[in-house]
Amino acid sequence: MILPVGISFYTFQSLGYIADVYGEKINAERSLSLYGLFILFFPYIASGPIGRAPSLIPQFKAEKKFCYEDVKEGAMIFAWGLFKKIVIADRLAILVNTVFNDVYSFRGIPLLISSIGFLVQLYCDFSAYSDMAVGSAKILGFDLIINFKAPFLSKSIGEFWRRWHISLSSWFRDYLYIPLGGSRKGKLKKYRNQIIVFLVSGLWHGAGLTFVIWGLLNGIYIVLGEILMPVKVALCNVLKIDRDSLGHRLFQIFITFSLATLAFIFFRANSIEDALYVIKYIFYPNLWLITDGTLLNLGLDLAEITILLCSLILLAFVDILSQKTSITKIINRQNPLYRWLLYVLAALFLLVFGIYGDAAKEVNFLYFQF
């Protein structure tokens, strides 16, 4: 069945608009053109972020004038998104697709690397589109919601979902979780509501059982995390572990990332059988494959892997630094000569190291399918 581009995203925007009008958060918009602009605003129409009427419609009504600072900031955000898409996500896609399209030919290290690789690919791919949507809207003078805030630095699954696809997570919170009763009617109903939200989230991504299991797993993670919190606190006290120490925070980040990777295996796998096979053999003892050249047969040669690793280090550095300061503000404080040198080098980097040609044709934005 051929579906309209972005149908799931602007359906959510329309539902959110109706709920906001019904709840008297906003007045019904009398201008069809303004309402149409809100629903079909081109930067976010295909893959979000999901817009909210109370934030965007007043911006559309306000007079707009050319602003060089907005253009400069928007272009930098857009370029960063482009880097994540064509340098990291599309390169990872080659490796991930090679393994997941034929999982029964692999065991151990290739399955582990491709499972981690898919989670990173999805983050870079989807946050790239969000950055490009935010950047292009900023060039025009409009502010969209930031959709990702370094989710791989999360110390719990709950925090992960507060940092990942924020516009969708907050939409489900405001228009499904809270109307179901939220946490107001006791813990059991709160846990039920959390499970329902993630099951619906899974169904939103696709009608297949793999997406349902993915959603259910995340709901179980959230519920168990809350139930076991007193146990974790007591255990830290007994073992005299400083919960604010760097070591403990890194351990929490590692566990959260591992749990997310496990759940997203179902998100990527072509079937439940494929996903269960990956989970069964992901820790198969064949570490020698790291050094015997096997990894060079997964679609990327040594040069491509080197580019990928260097790009991932840069991504991690920027994500960590962005938690404390604004990267665009740091760049704007530099001498114009240095700034323009950075712009030129960044453009050359994208041109030289991006994925183009036949390989690029096979890698559309992942969220275009939802």
pLDDT at 258 over 80: yes
Percentage of residues in the chain with pLDDT exceeding 90? 61
pLDDT at 368: 65
Rounded to an integer, the average pLDDT of 253-269 is 94
Handedness of CA 50, 53, 59, 61 (dihedral sign): positive
Could you tell me where the beta strands, DSSP code E, fall in the chain? none
Q: Give the C-alpha separation, 170 to 152, whole Å.
A: 18
- pLDDT of 334 reads 87
161-165: long-range pairs with CB below 8 Å, 24+: 161/218, 161/222, 164/123, 165/48, 165/126
Q: What is the mean pLDDT of residues 153-166?
A: 92
115-127 average pLDDT score = 94
Q: Is pLDDT of 1 > 90?
A: no
Q: How confident is the model at residue 369 (pLDDT cuts 50, 70, 90)?
A: low
Flag whether pLDDT at 360 surpasses 70. no
Query: How much is the pLDDT for 51?
Result: 87
pLDDT exceeds cutoff 70 at 132: yes
Q: Is residue 46 predicted with pLDDT exceeding 80? A: no
Q: How far is CA 14 from CA 42, 103, 254, 259, 342, in A?
A: 15, 40, 38, 33, 41
Mean pLDDT of the residues in the chain: 89
pLDDT above 70: residue 210: yes
Please tell me the least confidently modeled range out of 68-72, 100-104, 181-185, 249-253: 181-185
- Residue from 85, 107, 138, 205 carrying the catalytic annotation: 205
The residue that leads in pLDDT, 334 or 114, is: 114
pTM of the model: 0.91
205 is catalytic: yes
Residue 84: its pLDDT value, please? 95
Give the residue, 66 or 290, on which the prediction is more confident.
Answer: 66
Determine the average pLDDT of the residues in 130-147: 93
Task: Work out the average pLDDT over 130-138.
Answer: 93
Per-residue confidence (pLDDT) for residue 370, from 0 to 100? 61
The DSSP line for 115-160 is HHHHHHHHHHHHHHHHHHHHHHHHHTT--PPP--S-GGG-SSHHHH
Average pLDDT over residues 133-138: 94
The Cα–Cα gap between 178 and 170 comes to: 10
Flag whether pLDDT at 207 surpasses 80. no
With a cut of 80, say whether residue 364 has pLDDT above it: no
Contact 13/26 with Cβ under 8 angstroms?
A: no
Q: For residues 341 and 321, give the distance between their C-alpha atoms in angstroms, rounded to a whole number.
A: 21
321 vs 369, more confident: 321
Query: Span 290-313, mean pLDDT?
Result: 88
Whether 361 shows a pLDDT value over 80: the answer reads no
